Amino acid sequence: MKFRKYVQNQILLLPPDIIEMIPPNHVVRGIDAIVEQLNLERLYNSYSEEGQPGYHPKMLLKILLYGYSTGIMSSRKIAGRVESDIYYMYLSGMQRPDFRTISDFRKNKREYLLEYFQQILAICKAMGLISLGHIAIDGSKIEANASRKRMLEKDSIDEEEGKIQKRIADLIQKAEEIDANEDKQYGENKRGDELPEELAGERKLLEKIKEAKKHLEEKDLKRVNVTDPATRLMHEANGGLEVCYNAQISVDSDYQIIAATDVVSDEADHGQFIPMYEKTILNLKKKPKEVSADAGYQSGLAYLYLETQGIDGYMPDCRFNKETDGGQEEKLDKYDRRNFKYNKNEDTYTCPEGKELTFKSHSNRNGVHSRVYKCSHCPGCSQRSQCLLNPESRGCRQIQVYENDTYKSAMRKKLLSEGGREKYNKRMWTVEPVFAQIKRGLGFRQFLLRGIDKVKFEFSLVCMAHNIKKLIKYAPLLAV
């Protein structure tokens, strides 16, 4: 016989068991087992006893996490899969929640769902997937659910507000004229509170405009996005300029488990090192042995924090690559301030030409204290054009000595050493592949939700799904 027998309407003696149709090592079984271990008591208690019984939150959590772990984040697509995909059917127990139920669960229960990131981390730690030997911190731009066309400057937003208010006034006048004509024709039998659909849309847009305008004024911004005021125009890795959020993660180097997450509106990373490091400790209840981050995170305050907290950090300053010949050997300009010699007894500095700089004033920049020294011998110096940034000025050379300069110098020496270079390079294969897995593997390149609190939660779900996949992949191997 050439082919197997093919009968679509075959009557089965016994109904098939859906569990037997799921492969033993499929990821869906792992998600089922992990969610069963979570403490969902607070989530359960958030539901009322009144009214019709709702779908079980445990089931909704399972299908939501499975969706995110397979790159399906849309509530409509998840609802469609529950009706057609055997793996979703297995998790849902053959129940079929609609997309609105799934969407409302994600939106209304995010306070409780955020707790499960830490609970899943605890499972990862208990299974030996986290050692906190080396933590790497990094950020990546992820597009917001907002268009560049809705990015307006202050003058434009005032103009747009005026246009909308005029359209609303015209619509109200038009509606009143229609009502008056209908009253004459049919009698005064209308309630009088009907709102034309077009007018309702304009009023919603006006509310968004006013919210964006308030955000622009409070944050002292030059421009704001009407759709999602918390977003910013940011440069992406490909050099393009797009409306984005800046997603932050810290990752344990052993199995690339995400230890902490955040999403910020700032394009630059330099203010994120301390909060990300402290979130890592908060989540795992323990300090990592080492921590690394690229030069984008370096700031005077970050270096001061590393020094005062006694943290073994690997973080180059912003001029490290330029001034160390690609990380091999430090090469400073002759008249760089770090080549000026300090005279402790006189509290003065001597420049490479033997001229003295005396103390002038104290300064404080971004929380880091410094002392300013000034030379009075520059006008007659033959090397003035080489030493001063602006030789045409009549001023004299000043240098600013920061309280963490010694630490910055020690950090460079550590990064230039073979062992230090190796530990810093660990960052590249610890945290950077995780963002690649999130963007390519999970297909998460744009937020679905809007507003800073909602996108923080959505990114936590994505990172939760990432950790679950790592847990399912490696935990069985460690248990053998």
What span, in angstroms and rounded, lies between the C-alpha atoms of 111 and 453? 10
Lowest mean pLDDT among 57-66, 247-256, 269-278, 319-328: 319-328
- At a CB cut-off of 8 Å and minimum separation 6, what does 155 contact? none
What span, in angstroms and rounded, lies between the C-alpha atoms of 421 and 425? 6
Q: Residue 389: what pLDDT?
A: 79
Position 406 pLDDT exceeds 50: yes
- At a CB cut-off of 8 Å and minimum separation 6, what does 254 contact? 129, 130, 131, 133
Alpha helices in 272-328 (DSSP H): 273-284, 300-308, 320-323
Determine the average pLDDT of the residues in 426-446: 93
**What does the block give as tokens for 116?**
């499960």
pTM, to two decimals: 0.82
| CATH of region 134-144+233-318+412-461 | 3.30.420
Instruction: Convert the pLDDT of each residue in 289-308 to its tens digit.
Output: 999 999 999 999 999 999 99
Asked if 228 and 216 touch (Cβ cutoff 8 Å), the reply is no
Lowest mean pLDDT among 80-89, 136-145, 317-326, 357-366: 317-326
Q: Residue 183: what pLDDT?
A: 53
Q: Residue 186: what pLDDT?
A: 47
Domain boundaries, the chain: 18-44+54-113, 134-144+233-318+412-461, 148-225, 337-403
What's the burial of 323, exposed, middle or buried (CB within 10 Å: 0-12/13-18/19+)? middle
Determine the average pLDDT of the residues in 151-171: 55
What span, in angstroms and rounded, lies between the C-alpha atoms of 111 and 427? 31
Instruction: Convert the pLDDT of each residue in 307-326 to its tens digit.
Output: 999 999 999 998 888 888 76
Instruction: Convert the pLDDT of each residue in 331-376 to its tens digit.
Output: 888 999 999 999 999 999 999 999 999 999 999 888 889 999 999 9
What span, in angstroms and rounded, lies between the C-alpha atoms of 121 and 123? 5
Instruction: Convert the pLDDT of each residue in 182-240 to its tens digit.
Output: 555 544 555 544 445 554 555 565 565 556 556 565 566 666 777 788 888 888 877 77
Asked if 72 and 81 touch (Cβ cutoff 8 Å), the reply is yes
- Cα 178 vs. chain centroid, distance in angstroms? 51
Per DSSP bridges, beta strands 313-314 and 290-293 are parallel
Q: Residue 4: what pLDDT?
A: 76
Question: How would residue 250 be classed by pLDDT, with cut points 50, 70 and 90?
Answer: very high
Asked if 174 and 198 touch (Cβ cutoff 8 Å), the reply is no
Position 171 pLDDT exceeds 90: no
Asked if 251 and 436 touch (Cβ cutoff 8 Å), the reply is no
Question: How would residue 48 be classed by pLDDT, with cut points 50, 70 and 90?
Answer: confident
Lowest mean pLDDT among 48-52, 122-126, 159-163, 390-394: 159-163
Instruction: Convert the pLDDT of each residue in 2-37 to its tens digit.
Output: 777 766 677 666 667 788 888 888 899 999 999 999
State the average pLDDT for the chain: 85
Going by C-alpha positions, the residue among 216, 193, 31, 39 that lies closest to residue 112 is 39
Q: Residue 379: what pLDDT?
A: 86
Instruction: Convert the pLDDT of each residue in 358-367 to its tens digit.
Output: 999 999 888 8
Position 263 pLDDT exceeds 90: yes
